[in-house]
Amino acid sequence: MQKTLKKYFAIFALPTLIAFALAFLIPFLMGIYLSFTEFTTVVDAKWVGLRNYIEVFTQNQDFLNALWFTVRFTVVSIVTINVLSFALAMLLTKGIRGTNLYRTVFFMPNLIGGIVLGYIWQLIINGVLYSFGVTITAKPEYGFWGLVILMNWQLIGYMMIIYIAGILNIPPDMIEAAGIDGASSFQILRKITIPLVMPSVTICTFLTLTNSFKLFDQNLALTAGAPSKQTAMLALDIYNTFYGRAGSEGVGQAKAVLFFIMVAAIALTQLYLTRSKEVEN
């Protein structure tokens, strides 16, 4: 068996490897190379060294503004999404009638694409703001909270499912034993449930962190950066740099590489930190 597996390993792994190389590895390496060049189309690049990286910070403040907006957004949405989805998961593991229906309903928004969601929420939010004579573009705060609401609505269901799986994995006898020992339900939550769902917390924070950090579709559809780029997140800023100004494609590419490094660094740190809190059950 082992031998046959080895023999056919290449054949089974090859399609995935090729797909991975074509759709990810090669574009990624090309992207890094292009960030050091000046180009109009990806096939006619001219080497310019580190100039693009310098221009990211000297050309204008857009990148730093977008970074700050993204960080604020990410912090807020990680907290809200995880707290709310954990609360929902707790509720929907109590055996309430119609649990399955609720789980499905909460999960549904996750099946809708980002662009569509963005436009739907734009309509809803504008519909509310109309009665005050303004729209979502009136203040950057509106766009910010609009994005937070949208992101919560989309991701809570998904994270909830992960938390439910984690909560269902807790051995009921532990909770029962704690109850007999006189622990209050808050103590059970703090001392048993939360430590035991830490693996889920790791996954959920990782997912919310990376998803919020590299948010693009929803941002583009909801505000497209209005007013005056004040609600543009990093991915949108990269896109605008790349396409909005001839000759700046390389700068956009350099931003993208920096963006990758940031997301990777933050995500890995977070993984390390939450992993260390996980306990065996």
Partner 1 sequence: MKKINKVLALTLSMLIAATTMTACTSGKGGASGSEPGSEPGSSASEESTPTGKGGEIYFLNFKPEIAEVYDAIAKDYEAETGVKLNVVTAASGTYEQTLKSEIAKKDAPVLFQINGPKGYAVWKDYCKDLKDTELYQHLTDKSMAIQSGGGVYGIPYVVEGYGIIYNDAIMQKYFALDGAKAKSVDEINNFTKLKEVVEDMTARKAELGIEGVFASTSLTPGEDWRWQTHLANLPMHYEWKNGNVDLTSDATKEITFEYADNFKNIFDLYINNSTVAPGLLGSKSVDDSMAEFALGKAAMVQNGNWAWSQISGVQGNTVKEEDIKFMPIYIGMEGEENQGLCIGTENFFAINAKADPAQQKLAEDYLYWLYSSDKGKDYVTNQLGFIAPFDTFTDDEKPADPLAREVLDWMGKDGINTVTWDFLVFPNQTFKDEFGAALLEYAQGTKTFDEVKQIVVESWKTESAGNNA
Applying CB under 8 A, which residues contact partner 1?
Answer: 10-11, 14-15, 18-19, 22-23, 38, 40-44, 59-60, 122, 126, 130, 133-139, 223-229, 240, 243-248
Q: How far apart are the first and last CA of the chain?
A: 33
d(CA 121, CA 139): 16
180 versus 246: smaller Cβ distance to partner 1: 246
Q: Nearer Cβ to partner 1, position 136 or 155?
A: 136
By C-beta, is 182 or 247 nearer to partner 1? 247
Q: Which helix (H) or strand (E) holds 74?
A: helix 62-91
Both tokens assigned to 50: 């580190």
Q: Crossing angle of helices 140-168/198-213, nearest 10°?
A: 150
Shortest CB 207 distance to partner 1, Å: 24
Measured from the CB atom, the residue of 157 and 225 that comes closer to partner 1 is 225
User: Residue 144: exposed, middle, or buried by beta-carbon count in 10 A (0-12, 13-18, 19+)?
Assistant: middle
Nearer to partner 1, 24 or 272 (CB): 24
CB of 275 to partner 1, least distance (A): 35
- Give me the least distance between CB of 145 and partner 1, in Å please: 16
Least distance (Å) between residue 93 CB and partner 1: 39
Cα 197 from chain centre: 20
String of DSSP letters for 183-207: --HHHHIIIIIHHHTHHHHHHHHHH
The nearest distance, CB 46 to partner 1, in angstroms, is 10
- For the CB of residue 220, give the shortest distance to partner 1 in the complex, in Å: 9
Closer CB to partner 1, 171 or 244, in the complex: 244
Question: Crossing angle of helices 249-275/234-244, nearest 10°?
Answer: 160
Q: Which of 119, 95, 207, 97 is nearest to 158 (CA)?
A: 207
Kindly tell me which of 66 and 156 has the beta carbon lying closer to partner 1: 66
Q: How far is the CB of 268 from partner 1 (least distance, A)?
A: 29
| Cis, peptide link before residue 140, omega less than 30° from 0 | no
Rounded to whole angstroms, the Cα distance separating 232 from 196 reads: 38
CA 25 to chain CA centroid, Å, is 21
58 or 184: CB nearest partner 1: 58
CB of 70 to partner 1, least distance (A): 18
Under DSSP, is residue 38 helix (H, G, I), strand (E, B) or coil? strand
Tokens of residue 165, six digits? 């799986």
Residue 200 corresponds to which tokens in the numbers above?
């889920």
